[in-house]
Structures are given as structure tokens and as C-alpha cells.
Structure 1
């Protein structure tokens, strides 16, 4: 069977479209108050698949989302204060992030994508953020306990 150039392009296009159609969007709200207390990302733990997007939505003013630890090969991000940001998580591993102005209040979160390939470095980032937090010290460690090796 002979495949024409047009057929090959059509197959490639369908492959790309079908893989992006399977990707999920996870919404994380940036809030002054939520189920886990004051100054919180909700939910604080997200389990995603490679290619999914995580959309950080500003519910209350003066928040952002900034990566602290990402898996090898993954892109870090730094959202602007008072703006949402959408991040596509392509690489497997643990992504640790914070709200820059509220890091001292442990406004932090975890995204796990597939296997926790960077478990040890993510754990170090969690420990560092938790040690420097003035309040909510159990919050990030609680999220990290949900990470599956």
C-alpha cells in the first residue's frame, strides 16, 4: 500500500489533535481563605498526566504562582502578582510551587505528574519552604505525603 504525502500529513495532524484532546485541565484557585486555612492554593495537591495543564486562577488579589522545584527538563514558571497563569506539565516528576508574597504563610502546593522522578530534590524544597514558613507548617508536608513514589 502506497501512502501519499497528504495521507501522511493527515495522520500526523490527527495524532497531534487526539493527544491534545486527551490532555486535562486542572484548575487551582489562589485564595485568601479556603478549606486548608488562610492564604491557600485550592486544591494544594494535583495529580496530573504528562501534557495536562494547570490553570492558576486568581480568586483574591495579591497572589501569584511561582515554581520552586521542577523535574529535570521541565520548564519553571513565574506568574505575575494579581494574574492567573496556565502551566503545561510535560515532564514526569514533582512540581513544588509557592505564592511569592505569601510564602512565609506557607502558601504552597504540589503537582505530581506520573512517577516522582525527582522525589528527593522535591522533598528538600518542601523542607526548606516549611522551615522558613511562619505559619501553616503542616500544610505543604501534608500535600507532599500524597506524592506516590
Structure 2
């Protein structure tokens, strides 16, 4: 029994050592003069990895819009750095709520894009609501697998 417990603990430790943390910046303006943008806007990670959202200017936060079935939604607080761990495969679509009208949305693909059709179906409606940066989401979807 002790061997089984030790093996289980060792396995959990190994998994936590392999998990990575990625950073997504919330920007008013990026190096290409694109306004109200997440950098990177499309991120590919593995199950168990985490993402830290970093507001670089005031009035930003990250909030999930679409998550894979059975996954937890997430939301950071205004102007605060926040880290979330992703435990379910699929594509997560998120936004900066005050800048959604400017198409400030991003994607995190965790493992396989199991809900890609759901994401593709949502994009035209979201693009239609954008007052600026139209076409951004359609370009991002092409980066998903």
C-alpha cells in the first residue's frame, strides 16, 4: 500500500513539473499598431498548463466567452494579473469585456480542438458586432487546428 501511495505522489509531482505557464498581455496597442489586442491572441497549450493574463494598461480584464463542455469558465478582475489552469481539452474563447466592441478577443487551444465547430459558428456573429478590428477573429480561427 505504501508503494502505491508513493507512486501516486511521484506521478503527481512529475505532472506538475511538466506543466508550463504562459503569459498573455492585454494591450492597448501592440508593436504592429494593432489596437485593443491580446498578445499572443492565439495560444496553443497542453492540458494542465496555465495562462497568466497581464494587464499592461488600465481598464482590461479577461473573461471566458466559450469553453469546452465540462470546462470551468474563468474571469480575472479589472486591472489585476490572474492565472488560470486549463484541465479540459478544446478551444477557449475569451474577451476583454469593455473592449469587446473593438474585437478584443483571443483563443486558447488546449490539446485537441474538440469544440472547433462551436467556435467557428460563433465567430461570424462576434465579427458582426465589432465596430473596429473586423476580420481579426476570422484570421485567428485559421490558426486553430
TM-score, length-scaled by structure 2: 0.94
Q: Tell me: CA distance 1:52–1:63, structure 2 relative to 1, closer, same or farther (3 Å).
A: same
The alpha carbon displacement at 1:16 in A equals 0.3
TM-score, length-scaled by structure 1: 0.91
Deviations 1:41-76 (A, max 9, x none): 100000011111011011111000000111011101
List alignment gaps of at least 5 residues for structure 2. none
Q: Tell me: CA distance 1:35–1:110, structure 2 relative to 1, closer, same or farther (3 Å).
A: farther
List alignment gaps of at least 5 residues for structure 1. none
In 2, are the aligned partners of 1:70 and 1:95 still within 8 Å (CA)?
A: yes
Verify: 1:54 aligned to 2:51, yes or no: yes
Q: Tell me: CA distance 1:35–1:140, structure 2 relative to 1, closer, same or farther (3 Å).
A: farther
Give the equivalent residue in structure 1 for 2:111: 114
Larger radius of gyration: 1
The size of the alignment, in residue pairs, is 144
Q: Distance in 1 between matches of 2:102 and 2:19?
A: 32
Give the root-mean-square deviation of aligned CA atoms: 1.2
SS at match of 1:9: helix
User: Which portions of structure 1, spanning 4 or more consecutive aligned residues, are displaced by more than 4 angstroms?
Assistant: none
Q: Distance in 1 between matches of 2:79 and 2:123?
A: 24
